[in-house]
């Protein structure tokens, strides 16, 4: 018999950017903990999204898949309404949708900066705002933002990304203070280097450069798997986290302990 304090039975969750990588793992993990899970991503990732939906349904949980671009505010609002109508409410939001672009600070373009900040920070805020509009009349809910260990330590060639994730942590604290009176907790997870398609696409280093970086900075000695973040998300979404809010839970293989 599982520990009831970590059960998500009867809860409805929405995970953004959940067609692959961390989002897909968190969506499946929330379902395993008992939640019905809505998944969402940009239309070009629809095939992956449908596969994640099937995995959730194989766990005998309800799931719906939605096309959602977190840069489209009207689409954000309509998606929150559709989740509520289709699954009967919205108790948990996981803001996972995000992008990264690596380049030296002197070479960052306005387009690069805006794309990263708008997706990672603006998208997180407006998804949270729309979800709170649903959660407050219900009496509360859980919001879990996916930040990064790079919210608290610097990384070369990541000016926009570090700025966006630092902003997510600050935003998490502000929303936690404002919305606790409504029964909503707002927390963040700070993953370390995690083996995801997005990371691999953005990382231009060769194998030797990567291993040298991990040897210096990563006591774990390897990149993490997305599944190693599931426990943190389940806890922050669970009844056990009722008094945990405004917190950044870093899961980084010891990176920031150095």
Catalytic residues: 161
Nearest by Cα to 96 from 199, 189, 224 = 189
Where is 233: in which H helix or E strand? helix 230-237
Handedness of CA 33, 83, 27, 136 (dihedral sign): negative
Please report which residue ranges of 118-229 form alpha helices under DSSP H. 123-138, 159-179, 197-202, 207-217
Rg (CA), the chain: 17
Cα(65)–Cα(11) distance, integer angstroms: 17
- The tally of CA atoms less than 13 A away on the side-chain side of residue 97 is 30
For residue 66, the SS3 value is strand
């Amino acid at each position: 018999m599982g520990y009831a304090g970590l059960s998500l039975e009867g809860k409805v969750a929405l995970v953004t950017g959940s067609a692959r990588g961390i989002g897909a793992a968190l969506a499946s993990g929330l379902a395993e903990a008992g939640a019905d899970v809505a998944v969402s991503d940009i239309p070009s990732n629809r095939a992956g999204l449908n596969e994640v939906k099937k995995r959730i349904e194989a766990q005998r949980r309800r799931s719906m898949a939605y096309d959602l671009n977190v840069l489209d505010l009207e689409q954000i609002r309509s998606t929150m309404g559709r989740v509520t109508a289709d699954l009967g409410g919205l108790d948990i939001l996981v803001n996972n949708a995000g992008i990264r672009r690596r380049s030296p600070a002197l070479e960052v373009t306005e387009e690069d900066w805006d794309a990263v900040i708008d997706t990672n920070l603006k998208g997180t805020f407006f998804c949270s705002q729309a979800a709170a509009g649903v959660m407050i009349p219900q009496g509360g809910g859980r919001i879990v933002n996916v930040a990064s260990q790079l919210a608290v330590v610097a990384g070369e060639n990541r000016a926009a990304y570090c700025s966006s994730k630092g902003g997510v942590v600050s935003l998490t604290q502000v929303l936690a203070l404002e919305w606790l009176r409504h029964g909503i907790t707002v927390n963040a997870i700070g993953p370390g280097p995690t083996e995801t398609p997005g990371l691999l696409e953005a990382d231009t280093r060769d194998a030797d450069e990567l291993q040298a970086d991990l040897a210096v900075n990563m006591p774990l000695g390897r990149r993490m798997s997305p599944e190693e973040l599931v426990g943190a998300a389940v806890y922050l979404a669970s009844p056990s986290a009722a008094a945990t809010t405004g917190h950044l839970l870093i899961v980084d293989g010891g990176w920031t302990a150095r």
